[in-house]
Chain A
């Protein structure tokens, strides 16, 4: 059955409210449903938190097509539909050149059931030749699984080409996190670790920095293979590989600073056991000074964005068809033209 209703584009509200609205409109107050929408490329994408809800509203042009599905009989594989069929050429050629034969579809669980393990971030602020990769170690049993070595790279300087020492990835452990992401490769040059340049630092220093950040490691590399680079300002291919910052509140160059701040608090909470009781995470002390206050605010702000759904590069969903569809219009008082600020990745 179809329903059509309007929503104020500038104030879409929270996902919870929207979810309640849907249940109300369909008169199914106690039925768990999955909500999805089709984006401009025709892909079926989920709506299950504030961020992708807002993203969905912002893509309405001006109509936003919403699909809802009963959770019990939901066909998870419906998400990300069109993408595969249209992008197969691009994707499969690059990612699995040896794998042209169609594989049976794998049942993939809902995006909220995923924990991100890696992502490419800050695509818009980095040169095209660089790639900033984030590895989420927390909670995974997989080892990070890579080695680094000394080496030399060639830089362009005002005095011409110059050979400078550099740090390179020397080995990936099979089955490790680094290898499984496919974002890092042997001989990639490491340029930064969690926002700090490694030039001038020794191999041991860089090792220590990486291990110190191992629970939330952000490495900026110059990939040895430059053919798979991000292509700027192109809209040619699908959006499922869209990078993180499209869901981040800002994409200004201080984004990494933001990241670091957020990381510090979100990644590793020390554990306290009082009087041989249950282990608990150590809470943050109430801010006492002004400077602390402002610090916390940033962290909190950021934490919320982190908990959001981050489309990771691993999300390649397979296809099927939707069941319940619903259309409604979003009113846009400002009629801001829709623009994607994010860049698009060709995988």
Chain B
């Protein structure tokens, strides 16, 4: 009964648990999902991004990050920083305004929502009367001007959001002095843009959607100038000295207007359609930037010829004779220019353009020749190609780290050297305790190496496995090589490319040995590549080997995809990880498990058919083992047959829908009078209701049997030096666990180093354990005589771990989806178990050994199991006694892809995808916590009330 008097009432242990475990979601890495708005404060040098789910994220210098979430979870439409303040205003799609501020709290700045406000019109007015379309935070910091759909401009006081009714600028007042003929054509118009005069804060430029632009005098409450445009207005921008402004229009044109005291109704200076003469798309936003040399930068979004390039997401930069139309991979949400914000400076001198596209952030260096892109230190598009797997390696040795960085820097030569231009705030977080790598495998056959040590997830190096194979895509088909006379001068920028040439290239499993630099990568079509780090480019032949996993089985036909074709002859590889051997599994099914032992120079791989062991030193297949159950037809035929059955069921359900529609129509048609029809309808409804009741969501309760499908699927592979045969001699061994609850153990004989090339590696099956509950085996681990997990290969050789205790008796921990079981070794007898599913109804999805250090004392740490269940809970289970320590809800159980993507680190942190493009980082440890901690200083209130206008002018979209 002692087991039922659960531990956990031991006060000493309880205290220790508090010192060891703590759950925190610390930071979101990657690119925000579905961004919807962009804002920039030239004063704070901070950028803000709003999303469709109501999140708002602020970024400054690397490591400076803030996040806020609107309670309503509504789309953020606009973001405006208050000039000269640590405050910003957001407009949501429910027409509510929110004031956020950065306030210092116990040494670090925090982003908090201060006020919310919804503009209310007089009773009975239509909702459009108060629908906000344009927001202008005035440089006085005291008021906000809110342009609306009705054409009225409301003035609200900050920070109270009190409406100053007497200062409302009504469209009637504006139209009073507009020439009669112009006025008649266009009445009720919405306010498209509001711009404060750069030199005179008492004047604001108001642009109405149908083309009317007026300069309003705030002191005298009247229009001083009228600018009568014939085209529908999109946006406005002042020239720095206030003598001119520029307007852009729906027809793809832009117009310059002079502002002088002489002419109150001037004619345009210049009107251009940059990509004419054929009909063009709207220019939705425009910048006019002055430079010392006199040639301005004109930067505008859109305006492409409608017919041929109407589908491009472009921003054009024109500077004298230079003109480039940057062509983005996804829709442009918004952009801003970073320029001299010094109020005394005479010219804008733009330095960089920051573009928020739907799937990535692109920054263009406008100072360097050729306008190269700047490599962002954060907001990386994790999903340039869909992530298919991830692998985390903690505590990378400095040497390997430097070699990876050096390989990566050779790939980044086309990037600008400009320091990151958005550099507001100061990060005060301690330096990351160690160098961590996160490796992500992608659908297009690439592996990306991320610096996951700190708050900024930064791309170090990108590895492509594509070169080994022959694919349909022609590598010479370069989209960027456009001739001189190409018009428009499009240039592709950005890395987002979700379209995979061949899904078989997808990376499924990654294993990196941090000590030796060996990397094994396995993919969708049964390909296993072993690679070595080389600091130079090299051209060499990749050795091939085939592993027939169906060796002793006869008469099976693989109906899945074919294996990838390989290139013959030597292949040129750039510096970095270069493959030297390819093991091709036959049938070419997805590789489901992978293990690499760099000391023994062995790689083990498994698919749904079996597993094999390859000696990558001698380049020789050691053995294969077929794990298939003879009746498992599904695994044999491959994924295709399942697709077929899905299609079939889809077809059936469509048919069912059609049938029910037809029958309902028949009934309706058959009835002569209305009541009959009604009756028939009612009957039909009843029938469908009954049908629904007959088929509720139900689950079959059935014990698993050996004949179930995919029992041979190899879920986990593990190398261990342990006592497999007898208790006096230990030997290398390979362990494999299947979906059907079977564990195989093979005894390996690896020749000593001096004869390593002469004698073959031998393997012999030593044990097979069948778990009677037949749940999939998801983890295998051997604990040494001190009940410590065996160290990683080469870990002891590099003096980074104590050598394992080979005196005491070893134990085997087998983790299935349902149970944890400890067996003794070499004679397998069951010692302990924890039946998780039977007790809690949850199943193990991910399990890792993690080391937890105490936050109180440096000399205490322990190993525990970190477990993620199918309910999205994280549990910590002690080793070796398998006692549940603590449980935290982490991921919603409906978020299947989030749960599937979760990866734990060796020190109690983890990552999971919260969207295709974002990793959430969490920590279970009190000691290892990577989270942003930063300060943004409140700017000193300058004596001059006139702070230079925001560089980020609103798009008023």
* A interface with B by C-beta (< 8 Å): 137, 143-151, 170-171, 194, 196, 198, 201-215, 217, 254, 257, 261, 264, 267-276, 279, 282-286, 288, 291-292, 294-295, 298
In chain A, what residue has the closest Cβ to B811?
A285
Q: Closest Cβ of chain B: how far from A333's Cβ, in Å?
A: 32
CA distance A58 to B862 in the complex (A): 56
CA distance A150 to B2 in the complex (A): 35
Given A273-B768, A285-B829, A285-B831; A212-B699 close (CB under 8 Å): no
B829 touches A284 (CB 8 A): yes
Q: Closest Cβ of chain A: how far from B885's Cβ, in Å?
A: 17
Given A205-B842, A285-B824, A291-B2; A170-B703 close (CB under 8 Å): no
Complex interface residues of chain B between 819 and 863 (CB less than 8 A to chain A): 819, 821, 823-824, 828-833, 835, 837-843
User: Which listed residue (A147, A206, A257, A268) contacts B772, Cβ 8 A?
Assistant: A268
CA distance A267 to B830 in the complex (A): 14
Interface membership of B345, Cβ < 8 A? no
What chain B residues lie within 8 Å of A150 (beta carbons)?
696-697
Can you offer 5 A-B residue contacts whose CB atoms are under 8 A?
Answer: A208-B870, A212-B837, A264-B835, A273-B769, A292-B832
A212 touches B830 (CB 8 A): no
Q: Closest Cβ of chain A: how far from B283's Cβ, in Å?
A: 53
What chain A residues lie within 8 Å of B871 (beta carbons)?
205
What chain A residues lie within 8 Å of B396 (beta carbons)?
none
User: Which listed residue (B697, B700, B765, B830) contacts A284, Cβ 8 A?
Assistant: B830
Interface membership of B698, Cβ < 8 A? yes
What chain B residues lie within 8 Å of A275 (beta carbons)?
765-767
B830 touches A285 (CB 8 A): yes
A272 touches B828 (CB 8 A): yes
In chain B, what residue has the closest Cβ to A217?
B701
CA distance A285 to B812 in the complex (A): 12
B841 touches A201 (CB 8 A): yes
B823 touches A148 (CB 8 A): no
CA distance A201 to B702 in the complex (A): 19
What chain A residues lie within 8 Å of B292 (beta carbons)?
none
B768 touches A272 (CB 8 A): yes
CA distance A213 to B841 in the complex (A): 10
B830 touches A282 (CB 8 A): yes
Given A282-B823, A282-B830, A284-B830; A147-B837 close (CB under 8 Å): no
Q: Mark B748-780, 1 if CB is under 8 A from A, else 0.
A: 000000000000000001111111110100000
Q: Closest Cβ of chain A: how far from B667's Cβ, in Å?
A: 30
B773 touches A215 (CB 8 A): yes
What chain B residues lie within 8 Å of A298 (beta carbons)?
1
Interface membership of B3, Cβ < 8 A? yes
CA distance A209 to B697 in the complex (A): 17
B698 touches A171 (CB 8 A): yes
What 9 pairs across the A-B complex have the smallest Cβ distances?
A205-B841, A214-B703, A268-B772, A212-B837, A207-B699, A285-B831, A273-B768, A209-B841, A285-B829
Interface membership of B110, Cβ < 8 A? no
CA distance A276 to B746 in the complex (A): 11
B701 touches A146 (CB 8 A): yes
Given A148-B699, A264-B833; A212-B824 close (CB under 8 Å): no
* B interface with A by C-beta (< 8 Å): 1-4, 696-704, 765-773, 775, 818-819, 821, 823-824, 828-833, 835, 837-843, 870-871, 893
B772 touches A273 (CB 8 A): no
CA distance A291 to B837 in the complex (A): 23
Q: At the interface, is chain A mostly helix, strand, loop or mixed?
A: mixed
A212 touches B698 (CB 8 A): no
Q: Closest Cβ of chain A: how far from B315's Cβ, in Å?
A: 48
What chain B residues lie within 8 Å of A286 (beta carbons)?
829
A212 touches B775 (CB 8 A): yes
CA distance A321 to B405 in the complex (A): 93
What chain A residues lie within 8 Å of B829 (beta carbons)?
282-286
CA distance A145 to B837 in the complex (A): 20
B842 touches A282 (CB 8 A): no
CA distance A276 to B768 in the complex (A): 8
CA distance A289 to B593 in the complex (A): 36
What chain A residues lie within 8 Å of B768 (beta carbons)?
272-273, 276
User: Which listed residue (B701, B766, B771, B842) contacts A210, Cβ 8 A?
Assistant: B701
B703 touches A283 (CB 8 A): no
A257 touches B701 (CB 8 A): no
What chain A residues lie within 8 Å of B840 (beta carbons)?
196, 205, 209
What chain A residues lie within 8 Å of B703 (beta carbons)?
137, 143-144, 211, 214-215
A213 touches B699 (CB 8 A): no
Task: Name the residue among A207, A254, A269 with the largest chain B CB count within 10 angstroms.
Answer: A207
16 A-B pairs besides A205-B871, A270-B770, A279-B770 with CB distance below 8 A are A146-B700, A149-B699, A150-B697, A170-B696, A196-B838, A196-B841, A207-B699, A209-B837, A209-B839, A209-B840, A212-B838, A215-B703, A274-B767, A275-B766, A282-B829, A282-B830
CA distance A171 to B842 in the complex (A): 24
What chain B residues lie within 8 Å of A146 (beta carbons)?
700-701
A144 touches B702 (CB 8 A): yes
Task: Name the residue among A170, A203, A211 with the largest chain B CB count within 10 angstroms.
Answer: A211
B828 touches A211 (CB 8 A): no
What chain A residues lie within 8 Å of B893 (beta carbons)?
202
B2 touches A294 (CB 8 A): yes
B696 touches A208 (CB 8 A): no
CA distance A257 to B4 in the complex (A): 8
CA distance A321 to B436 in the complex (A): 83
What chain A residues lie within 8 Å of B837 (beta carbons)?
208-209, 211-212
A254 touches B1 (CB 8 A): yes
What chain B residues lie within 8 Å of A283 (beta carbons)?
829-830
What chain B residues lie within 8 Å of A147 (beta carbons)?
698-701
A272 touches B698 (CB 8 A): no
CA distance A273 to B893 in the complex (A): 38
In chain B, what residue has the closest Cβ to A151?
B696
B702 touches A143 (CB 8 A): yes
Q: Closest Cβ of chain B: how far from A183's Cβ, in Å?
A: 15
CA distance A10 to B21 in the complex (A): 56
In chain A, what residue has the closest Cβ to B768?
A273
Q: Closest Cβ of chain B: how far from A280's Cβ, in Å?
A: 9
Task: Name the residue among A210, A212, A270, A288 with the largest chain B CB count within 10 angstroms.
Answer: A212
CA distance A22 to B831 in the complex (A): 43
CA distance A11 to B1 in the complex (A): 28
Q: Closest Cβ of chain A: how far from B940's Cβ, in Å?
A: 56
What chain B residues lie within 8 Å of A276 (beta carbons)?
765, 768
Task: Name the residue among A194, A203, A210 with the largest chain B CB count within 10 angstroms.
Answer: A210
B839 touches A270 (CB 8 A): no
A294 touches B1 (CB 8 A): yes
B697 touches A149 (CB 8 A): yes
What chain A residues lie within 8 Å of B818 (beta carbons)?
208, 212
What chain A residues lie within 8 Å of B843 (beta carbons)?
208
What chain A residues lie within 8 Å of B4 (beta carbons)?
257
A194 touches B831 (CB 8 A): no
Q: Closest Cβ of chain B: how far from A206's Cβ, in Å?
A: 6
In chain A, what residue has the closest Cβ to B705?
A143
In chain B, what residue has the closest Cβ to A219?
B701
CA distance A268 to B773 in the complex (A): 7
In chain B, what residue has the closest Cβ to A258?
B1
CA distance A146 to B703 in the complex (A): 11
What chain A residues lie within 8 Å of B824 (beta carbons)?
285
In chain A, what residue has the closest Cβ to B696?
A149
Q: Closest Cβ of chain B: how far from A289's Cβ, in Å?
A: 9
CA distance A206 to B702 in the complex (A): 12
What chain A residues lie within 8 Å of B833 (beta carbons)?
264
B2 touches A295 (CB 8 A): yes
CA distance A206 to B842 in the complex (A): 9
What chain B residues lie within 8 Å of A203 (beta carbons)?
697, 699
Q: Closest Cβ of chain B: how far from A300's Cβ, in Å?
A: 14
What chain B residues lie within 8 Å of A279 (beta carbons)?
770
A148 touches B698 (CB 8 A): yes
CA distance A337 to B547 in the complex (A): 76
A213 touches B838 (CB 8 A): yes
CA distance A97 to B939 in the complex (A): 90
A212 touches B773 (CB 8 A): yes
Q: Closest Cβ of chain B: how far from A336's Cβ, in Å?
A: 28
